[in-house]
Amino acid sequence: MSDATILLGAVAHDTKVLPYWEAMREYLQANGVGIDFALYSSYERQVEALLGGHIDLAWNGPLAHVRVKRRAEGRLVLVAMRDTDREFTTKILVRRNAGIGALSDLHGKTLALGSRDSAQARILPLFFLKRAGVDLAKMTLLPFEHDAGKHGDPPQSELDILAAVQDGRADAGAVGGQVFQTELAAGRVDPHRVETLWTTPSYDHHVLEALPSFPEAKAQALQRALLDLRWNNPKHRRLLEMEGARQWIAAREDGHMHLEAALDDQRGW
């Protein structure tokens, strides 16, 4: 591999990851950006690879991003993110016959949660609920653990949460808004049994990032190629659809402030 080739890291959380980055590599190389990729089994390994200089940049989920930021003392190059990675929310869903009409009614109830390292299905919803005045000690928490190290990708724990709320094992559950909308549209959520009690404040999700040593010219060329993807171009649309997005946009930092506060509040991270 030549020095001009960018090496990107991504976590292999789904069988679609390999064909996606193969297709993206083809697109980027055709647009003057030499790139290759390495797949990792967990975000922890990917974080260490980025910090150790084994890869040039990483496609990181929110928890991985905050960990890299803190270990790099805030010095990062944020390249791009998908439009769907902005204004992300979590839904607090309840079973209609559970007698829950307000957040205070969660006291004494069972709340289903996702994996320990899932920002959208555990870390952030607990933080937002606590900030909204819910006493977490007055609820029974029912966690579903899947794919440790993948930080909620894929969303199997969220699918388990939906099932638990619908079949009565839980009175309520925390599910990422995108997962809920996808499952609802596919007819796998019964709106006669489940409803949205509350939607959290918004936050950001995945981000493509590098350390400050990443050359500015390469970052600009990569960002330009990604932002040039157009939904009305059939070839581009295929790439965007593979990632569930309509466009790539410039990355930003302030959308992860809630997660940083949540990690400070929930010791041990």
DSSP-assigned letter for residue 88: B
Q: Which residues of the chain have pLDDT under 50?
A: 1, 268-269
In the numeric block, which tokens belong to residue 112? 């289903």
Contact between residue 21 and residue 8 where contact means Cβ atoms under 8 Å apart: yes
Q: Could you tell me what percentage of the chain is helix, strand and coil, using 3-state DSSP and rounding each to the nearest 5?
A: 40, 20, 35
Which class for 189: exposed (0-12), middle (13-18), buried (19 or more C-beta within 10 A)?
buried
Domain ranges of the chain: 6-85+205-253, 90-199
Residue-level pLDDT at 132: 98
Kindly give, in sequence order, each residue whose CB lies less than 8 Å from that of residue 100, ignoring residues fewer than 6 positions away.
94, 106, 109, 171, 172, 197
What fold is seen in the domain 6-85+205-253? D-Maltodextrin-Binding Protein; domain 2 (3.40.190)
Residue-level pLDDT at 70: 97
Residue-level pLDDT at 269: 40
State the distance between the two ends of the chain, measured CA to CA, in whole angstroms: 36
Q: Do the domains 90-199 and 6-85+205-253 match in fold?
A: yes
Contact between residue 243 and residue 46 where contact means Cβ atoms under 8 Å apart: no
In the numeric block, which tokens belong to residue 244? 């569930």
List, for residues 165-175, the tens digit of each pLDDT value: 999 999 999 99
199 bridge partner residues? 91
Q: What is the pTM of this model?
A: 0.94
In the numeric block, which tokens belong to residue 63? 């928890």
Residue-level pLDDT at 193: 96
Q: Per the CATH hierarchy, to which homologous superfamily does domain 90-199 belong?
A: Periplasmic binding protein-like II (3.40.190.10)
Q: How far apart are CA 251 and CA 79, in angstroms?
A: 6
User: Which residue type, as a one-letter code, is found at position 174?
Assistant: A
Closest to 86 measured CA to CA, from 238, 250, 241, 260: 250
Contact between residue 62 and residue 259 where contact means Cβ atoms under 8 Å apart: yes
Kindly give, in sequence order, each residue whose CB lies less than 8 Å from that of residue 254, ignoring residues fewer than 6 positions away.
none
Residue-level pLDDT at 154: 87
Q: How far apart are CA 57 and CA 71, in angstroms?
A: 15
List, for residues 89-108, the tens digit of each pLDDT value: 999 999 999 999 999 999 99
pLDDT > 90: percent of the chain: 93
Q: How far apart are CA 107 and CA 49, in angstroms?
A: 43
203 bridge partner residues? 88
